[in-house]
Amino acid sequence: MVTLAGCGAHAAKPSDAPTLAAGAYGTGEGLGVGVDDPSTAPSPAKSVAATGSSTAAPGATHAAAKVTSGTATGGGKATSTSGPTAAPIPRGQKEVVRYGVPISGYPALLDEAMAAGYRPVYLDGYDVGSAAYVNAVFRPADGVGWYQYIEMSASGYQSRFDSLKSQGYRLVSVESYLNGGQVRYAGLWSKSSGPASFAFHGYTATNYQTMLDKETAAGYLPANVSVVSVSGALSYTGLLVKRGLGSWELKSTLSPTDYNTLFKQELKAGLAPAYLNAYTQNGAVKFVALFASSPAVQFEEHSGLSATQAVSDTATEEKAGYLTSSAAGYDDGGQTHFIVCWSH
C-alpha cells in the first residue's frame, strides 16, 4: 500500500502546461519518460525527527570503514564550478553519474542513458540563483518497468502519483526543488513489489513534524526527505517506508558546522549516512541527514566539493567498488557545491 498526502496550495501557471520528453508514454503535466514493457523500451527519441542542527565544513571529507569504525579527515576549501558534466555515456558500467545538469537538458541526458542500456535510480534537484539543475545516477536496466517525471507542479505530481499507482507502479523516490522561484517536483516510480509506504509533499515545518511523529510511531521510517525554502518558509516533501533501520536519527535544518558535529557523533555510535540532501534558507546552507545502523555498510562521504571534484571523487570511489547513494547540490554564496556519499 502506498499513501500520498499533500498540503498547501499551488496556482497553475502557463509553465504547468503538459510537455513530454521524446519517447514518453502518456500525457500530463511535467516532463517525463517511462518504460512500461522493457522489451519494447522507447529509443532515445529512535526518532529525532526533523529538527536539529549538523556536514562537514566546505571541503571536508569523512570516511568510515564499516559504520562501526572509521575516522574523519579534513580537506581544503573547495573552489566551485557549475554546469553539466557532458562526457558521453559509456556502456557497460555499474553506474553512470552526472552532476550539474541544467534541468532543461535532463530529458536529453535521460534519452542518452536509456539508449546506452541504463535506467534512472536517483535524481537530486537544486537551484543556484534562479536556475535549476539536477544530479543524476543511472544503473543498468534490469527489466523492471519504470517512470520518471520532473518539473511537476504540486497538482501535477498528485495526478501522476494517482495515475501510476492505479497502474501498479510504486513510488521509490521524490524530490522537490526550486525553478525560477517556483516549487517543482521530480518522482521515480517502479513496477515492482515493496513494503508499504507513505509519501508526502508541500508540508509546512509544523505539519511535517506532526506527521513524522505519527507515522514513525506506526513503523513508517524515512527513505528520503527533501526541503526547499520559499521566502524563508520551509516546505517538506518525501517518502516514508515501513522498514527497519536499527538505530536512526534524522535532522533537516543542519548548518555545515552542526552537520560535521553530528557526523562525528553518529560515526562513533555506529551509524552511517543513509540519505543526504541540501538546500539554502535565507542565504544559509542547510543539510538534511538521515543516519542509520542498519543495514551496515562501508561508506565514503565528501562535502563542499566543486563539480570537478565531485566528478573526480566519484570516479575514484567507483574504482574502489563503491556506488553513489546520495549526491546533493546546493548554492553556497552563489557558488555550486556538492555533498556526496558512496557505499557498498
Which of the four pLDDT bands, split at 50, 70 and 90, describes residue 53? very low
Give percent of the chain with pLDDT exceeding 70. 76
Q: Give pLDDT, residue 87.
A: 77
Q: Do 228 and 176 contact (CB within 8 A), yes or no?
A: yes
Matching residue, cell 512500461: 36
Q: Give pLDDT, residue 43.
A: 36
Instruction: Give the residue with greater pLDDT, 270 vs 79.
Output: 270
Q: Per mean pLDDT, which range of 4-8, 190-194, 300-304 is the poorest?
A: 4-8
Instruction: Give the residue with greater pLDDT, 40 vs 23.
Output: 40
Q: Per mean pLDDT, which range of 55-59, 193-197, 235-239, 241-245 is the poorest?
A: 55-59
- Judged against a pLDDT cut of 60, whether residue 326 lies above it is answered with yes
- Judged against a pLDDT cut of 50, whether residue 143 lies above it is answered with yes
Q: Give pLDDT, residue 258.
A: 98
What does residue 178 show for φ and ψ, rounded to 5 degrees?
-105, 140
Distance separating alpha carbons of residues 337 and 90, to the nearest angstrom: 25
Closest CA to 327 of 78, 32, 89, 96: 96
Q: Do 224 and 241 contact (CB within 8 A), yes or no?
A: no
Q: Give pLDDT, residue 325.
A: 98
Looking at the 3D structure of the chain, how many domains does it have? Answer: 1
pTM of the model: 0.81
Instruction: Give the residue with greater pLDDT, 254 vs 75.
Output: 254
Distance separating alpha carbons of residues 58 and 75, to the nearest angstrom: 8
Which of the four pLDDT bands, split at 50, 70 and 90, describes residue 38? low
Which of the four pLDDT bands, split at 50, 70 and 90, describes residue 196? very high
Q: Where are the alpha helices (DSSP H) in the chain?
A: 106-115, 154-166, 205-217, 256-268, 307-319
Closest CA to 42 of 122, 147, 137, 129: 147
Q: Do 209 and 215 contact (CB within 8 A), yes or no?
A: no
Matching residue, cell 517536483: 185
Instruction: Give the residue with greater pLDDT, 46 vs 83.
Output: 83
Distance separating alpha carbons of residues 276 and 341, to the nearest angstrom: 8
Give percent of the chain with pLDDT exceeding 90. 74
Which of the four pLDDT bands, split at 50, 70 and 90, describes residue 212? very high
DSSP 8-class letter at 196: -
DSSP 8-class letter at 79: P
Q: Give pLDDT, residue 202.
A: 98
- Nearest 10 degrees: Cα torsion 22, 37, 32, 221: -160
Domain span at residue 195? Answer: 2-343
Task: Quick: pLDDT tens for 19-35.
Answer: 223 223 333 356 777 77
Q: Do 65 and 312 contact (CB within 8 A), yes or no?
A: no
Which of the four pLDDT bands, split at 50, 70 and 90, describes residue 314? very high
